[in-house]
Structure 1
Amino acid sequence: MTSMTGGCQCGRVRFVAEIESDDAYLCHCGMCRRATGGASIAFVNVAQDKVRWEREPDWYESSPIARRPFCSACGTPLGFAFLERATNIDLTLGSFDDPARFVPRHNFGAESILPNWLDASHLPGIRSEDNPSTTDRWMKTVGKLPD
């Protein structure tokens, strides 16, 4: 078991999770797409008693069966949890400080997969620092590029 940290974009909500495996998954359901604004969302499933919130997140009851932790200050989606009889919580992969260890093992909500967005590996890659429109704004405002 490994302790891993994570949190929201602004740093107001932070967590420590005890991770047992490298398993992650992509959810393609319409509810997750709307909740995150993405084509899918990557989740890491963790036992609820293995997650310690350093500052409790805000919670949104997104359906009659589930709620989602998030930060009301910056809007970062942090996960998904069933309301009843839940022993686990799904934490958003992107909210971990170092998500590189996780490996996608399956797709959930496969009936809602957007096929054009399933594999983007064939598209050209543009590095952030190679985009003058973005780098110029960061340099003018902050004097450096973000980490």
Structure 2
Amino acid sequence: MTQAAKPLLTGGCQCGAIRFALTAAPIRITICHCRMCQKATGAPFASLAEVARENFAWTHGKPAAFRSSSIAERDFCKACGTPLSYRQDDGTSIEIMTGAFDRPDRVVPTVQLGAESRLGWVGAIANMPSKTTQQIYGAEKLASVFSYQQPDHD
């Protein structure tokens, strides 16, 4: 990413030690159900935005990396543990976890991968009963909570 390019999308880890920016829209945005993504995120699936490496930069801090396979590494914040990316060794792109974006609503998945490992209950999520955070804790308790999480901006 060139210094003169204006960021289109930004994001970072939970504690703010790592920040990143994109200067172009992602190539594709996926949900991956493969077992490796499940383990890497501690979740039933990963949601990833694939970005050409020339349109991506770490703008604050550098992530730690874990070699998750013989062909790829996964980046994460060594301070707070936030999973950040997936990179194939010979690839021209990097895949960024969509939850790490400041505006995850702007990176909407359009395809699912690793369907052989998709958990059977995932398709029913939208129909499950749901509550807001305020409904769970109540307004008074929620007002007393102080988040140590980095705000969704630089």
| TM-score > 0.5 by shorter chain | yes
Instruction: Specify every segment of 5 or more residues in structure 1 that has no aligned partner in the other structure, as ranges.
Output: none
Counterpart CA distance in 1 for 2:70 and 2:52 is 22
Q: Identify the structure with the greater strand proportion.
A: 1
Corresponding residue number in structure 1 for 2:74:
68
Asked whether the 8 Å contact 2:26–2:49 carries over to 1, the reply is no
Amino acid in structure 1 at the alignment position of 2:84: L
The number of residue pairs the alignment matches comes to 143
1:24-58 CA distances to partner (integer Å, 9 max, x unpaired)?
11000000100100000100000112111022111
For 2:68 and 2:28, the matched residues in 1 are separated by 25
Check the 8 A contact 1:18/1:50 in 2, yes or no.
yes
CA–CA distance in 2 between the matches of 1:70 and 1:13?
A: 9
- Gapped regions of structure 2 (runs ≥ 5): 1-5
- The 5-angstrom pairing of residues 88-99 of structure 1 reads 88-99=93-104
* Alpha-carbon contact 1:43-1:91 (below 8 Å) kept: yes
Greater Cα shift, 32-41 or 123-132: 123-132
CA contact (8 A) 1:128 1:135 kept: no
Deviation at 1:70, TM superposition (A): 0.5
Percent of pairs with identical residues:
34
Q: Give yes or no for contact 1:4–1:18 (8 Å, CA) kept in 2.
A: yes
Query: Could you state the TM-score of these two structures normalised by the residue count of structure 2?
Result: 0.83
| CA distance in structure 2 between the aligned counterparts of 1:135 and 1:18, rounded to whole angstroms | 41
In the superposition, the TM-score normalised over structure 1's length comes to 0.86
Given the superposition, is the C-alpha separation of residues 134 and 35 from structure 1 closer, same or farther in structure 2, using an over 3 Å criterion? farther
SS in 2 for 1:103: coil
Q: Which residue of 1 aligns with 2:85?
A: 79
Per the alignment, do residues 135 and 69 of structure 1 end up closer, same or farther by CA in structure 2, a change over 3 Å counting?
farther
Kindly indicate whether the alpha-carbon contact (under 8 Å) linking 1:2 and 1:18 is maintained by their aligned counterparts in 2: yes
Deviates more, 1:13-22 or 1:31-40: 13-22
Q: Do structure 1's residue 37 and structure 2's residue 42 form an aligned pair?
A: yes
- Map Cα deviations across residues 31-88 of structure 1 (whole Å, 9 max, x no partner): 01001000001000001121110221111111111101100110000010011x2100
The alpha-carbon distance between structure 1 residues 87 and 110, as it changes in their structure 2 partners (threshold 3 A), is: same
Q: In structure 2, the residue corresponding to 1:121 is in which secondary structure?
A: helix
- Name the CA shift for 1:2/1:22 in 2 (closer, same or farther; >3 Å): farther
What is the RMSD computed on CA atoms of the aligned residues?
2.5
Alignment of 1:1-147 (within 5 A): 3-21=8-26, 23-54=28-59, 55-83=61-89, 85-132=90-137, 136=141, 139=144, 142=146
